[in-house]
Structure 1
Amino acid sequence: MAKTPAQRAAKHGAAATPPSTPVVNTSTQRSPQKAQGNANLILIAGAVASLFLFWYFHLLTLNQMTDLSGGLAMPQSIVFGFDVPYVESLRAAMDADALGQLNYVGKTAGTLFPLIFAITALTLIAANVGKKALRWALWMLPLAFAGISLWANAAVDNMLGAEKLDPGAVSLASGLVTASWMLLIASLLAIGLALFLGRRKKTPPAEA
């Protein structure tokens, strides 16, 4: 009759008991290549979502809103800002329903685009830039873009919805819209630099 491990240990000592082998669950192990592939999928999804939201907000919806303003462009579309006479003309051309539609678009697509773009840019920069100081410097651009864009949308809504037009509110909204466009361009340049650095880092040095 076979003895149990405990009985053999009691008779022959602990040396007779075979060492136990820990069970390793290999199903949870991921290779570096698989982890990199998952990160790439997240970046691709974020880039596609950012492009779609930019197209939907700036190229489609805001352009279509000109049908409700007598052909006048929406404030968020004017890269180099606007002045008081323009805003007065826009307020006179748009009724309450049109202003409500602009407000709704700004709070949906106008909010989602800068947030998703910033998150995607931060992830891409983190994956390609190794130097901490440079990484933080590049991170500042998409973070500033997201914050300024959200502020610009709110400033435009307040400017257009006010009972009496305030020149100071016009200057603030105009400056924020222009700053958001400049920061978007700077963020795209930062992404390009991060991709360049990441590609150079992964390229093996040529043999002499």
Structure 2
Amino acid sequence: MAKTPAQRAAKHGDHATPPSAAVVNASTQRTPAKAQGNANLILIAGAVASLFLFWYFHLLTLNQMTDLSGGLAMPDSMVFGFGGGHIEALRSAMNADAMGQLQFVHKTAGTLFPLVFGLTAMTLIAINVAKKWLRRLLWVFPILFAGAQLWANVAIDNTLSAKTLDAGSVTVASWLVVSSWFLLVVSLAGLGVALYAGRRKKAGPVTEGPAPA
């Protein structure tokens, strides 16, 4: 027959454990240090992926595309924009296969890079910036960068593949490319601000010791 709690207490004293008491496994508890470590792993993976995609998209693939355009730079690489003359020269130099390759690059690396960078940047800002207004302000730039980059991909493809070249479309595509580069630089600066804020938050307030007698 099972003993009552009173009988167990009388027999075992303070060492008696109620049957309803749950055994807590301390090893499964999520400490702040573990949570911070997991967040750091996510940030490292995102940063590595962003750097790789930037290198693959801008430094490798778009440079290789110049072999299919008679040495003319791709619009994405022109930080200060481009005009109708450059687009017209590209349209004349690139055949249908070259256009298709550029569109494929835009749909793969050209899409993944801004999305991965934007998500990584927003995560880093969320972890390091405690002030809500500053966090939301810094979030704006990577979000705008991702939007501008994705829109620029579509605008460039539409401009190059259009039956007749439209000056307005060229202007929009050029403006989007310049904006995406500008927003990328501002986003990186914002990440620097976030890291500085994170270091100050970890340091905490400085407490002074007792004054010497």
Q: Which amino acid aligns with 1:38?
A: N
2:111 matches 1:106: no
Give per-residue Cα distances to partners, 1:48-83, cap 9 Å, x unaligned.
000000000000000010011111100000011111
CA deviation string 1:122-151 (max 9, x = no partner)? 000000000001100000000010011000
Runs in 1 of length 4+ with deviation above 4 angstroms?
none
- Let me know the Cα RMSD of the aligned residues: 1.4
Q: Which residue of 2 aligns with 1:75?
A: 75
- Letter paired with 2:122: L
Encode CA deviations 1:135-178: one digit per residue, 9 max, x unaligned.
00000000010011000000000000111111111011000010
Alignment of 1:59-74 (within 5 A): 59-74=59-74
- 1:197 equivalent in structure 2: 197
Find the counterpart in structure 2 of residue 45 from structure 1: 45
Match of residue 173 from structure 1: 173
In structure 1, the partner of 2:57 is 57
Residue in 2 that maps onto 1:120 = 120
Identical positions, percent: 65
| Secondary structure in structure 2 of the residue aligned to 1:82 | coil
Three-state SS of the structure 2 residue aligned to 1:158 is helix
Say whether 1:4 aligns with 2:2: yes
Q: Which amino acid aligns with 2:190?
A: A
Mapped to 1, the partners of 2:102 and 2:160 lie a distance apart of 10
Write the distance in 1 (CA, Å) between the matches of 2:113 and 2:207.
Answer: 41
Q: How far 1:25 moved relative to its partner?
A: 3.6
Unmatched 5+ stretches in structure 1: none
- Give the superposition deviation at 1:17: 5.9
Measured in 1, the distance between the counterparts of 2:7 and 2:26 equals 29
Partner Cα distance (1:16, 1:152) in 2? 78
User: Partner of 1:90 in structure 2?
Assistant: 90
Gaps spanning 5+ residues in structure 2: where?
10-17
Hey, what's the Cα distance between the residues in 2 that align with 1:43 and 1:76? 27
Partner-residue secondary structure (3-state), 1:193: helix
